[in-house]
């Protein structure tokens, strides 16, 4: 079964490629020859994920999925959340966002946080949503140089290393995205029977 993954983020594509079971083929937008920058105008992960998969479905008429992810920090009332990519401004780099987060968390005792991913699948004309959550905490300083985004400042519950200090396979044992993707492929495997 072939599906388009509606993202331009090469890190997300690499993570998901590692988790695809036999019998499925996932094409990134680039691999599918689609060059479009899909906006994320909404104030929930669900609505943004839905918008992205809807745009690609309208363009291609093909089964596809998208995902939207946010880092939800307890002491910041769930921020940056749906604004994770633009936390430090519309043109913010990963490093800008990480620096702002560490500044806003300076001196904060409660460092609990979680990543939440929502996948929107468009399959045979219907939409299905899948959620993956990874609890953990925010470090005092950036650690490691793997991964992307907030990986250097997030330690998943059950480990002492930041995501940026792990290999992709190690991150996938904990990650929000891997959990949502597992639900996606469970669902798809059941449709094939």
Q: Which residues have a Cβ under 8 Å from the Cβ of 21 and sit 6 or more positions away? A: 185, 189
Q: Where are the beta strands (DSSP E) in the chain?
A: 2-5, 25-28, 64-73, 80-81, 112-123, 126-138, 154-156
Report d(CA 99, CA 62) in Å as an integer. 39
Q: Which is nearer to ligand IMP, 173 or 191 (CB)?
A: 173
Q: Which residue has the tokens 């792990």?
A: 166
If the CB atoms of residues 63 and 69 are measured against ligand IMP, the closer one turns out to be: 69
Annotated active-site residue 68? The verdict is yes
Q: Residue 10's Cα: distance from chain center in Å?
A: 12
Closer of 28 and 97 to ligand IMP (Cβ)? 97
- Minimum CB–partner distance for residue 141 and ligand IMP (Å): 16
Comparison of 63 and 175: residue with beta carbon closer to ligand IMP: 175
C-alpha–C-alpha distance, residues 69 and 88, integer Å: 16
CB of 156 to ligand IMP, least distance (A): 10
Q: How far is the CB of 158 from ligand IMP (least distance, A)?
A: 16
Catalytic residue among 68, 96, 110, 186: 68
Instruction: Give residues in contact with ligand IMP (CB under 6 A).
Output: 9, 40, 68-69, 71, 84-85, 94, 97, 115, 147-151, 163, 175, 177
- Residue identified by tokens 């992709």 is 168
Q: Residue 8: exposed, middle, or buried by beta-carbon count in 10 A (0-12, 13-18, 19+)? A: middle
Residue, CB closest to ligand IMP: 149
Q: How far is the CB of 30 from ligand IMP (least distance, A)?
A: 15
Residues recognised as catalytic: 68
């Amino acid at each position: 079964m072939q599906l388009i993954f509606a993202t331009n983020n090469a890190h997300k594509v690499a993570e998901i490629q590692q988790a695809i079971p036999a019998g499925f083929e996932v094409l990134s937008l680039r691999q599918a020859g689609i060059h479009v920058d899909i906006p994320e105008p909404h104030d929930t992960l669900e609505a943004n994920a839905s918008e992205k998969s809807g745009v690609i479905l309208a363009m291609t008429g093909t089964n596809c999925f998208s995902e939207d992810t946010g880092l939800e920090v307890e002491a910041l009332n769930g921020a940056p959340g749906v604004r994770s990519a633009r936390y430090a401004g519309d043109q913010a780099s990963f490093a800008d966002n990480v620096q702002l987060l560490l500044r806003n968390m300076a001196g904060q005792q409660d460092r609990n946080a979680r990543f939440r991913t929502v996948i929107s699948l468009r399959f045979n004309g219907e939409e299905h949503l899948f959620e993956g959550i990874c609890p953990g905490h925010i470090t005092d300083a950036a650690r490691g140089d793997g991964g992307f985004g907030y990986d250097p400042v997030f330690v998943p519950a059950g480990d002492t290393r930041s995501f940026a200090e792990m290999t992709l396979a190690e991150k996938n044992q904990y990650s929000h995205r891997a959990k949502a993707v597992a639900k996606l492929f469970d669902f798809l495997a059941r449709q094939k029977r």
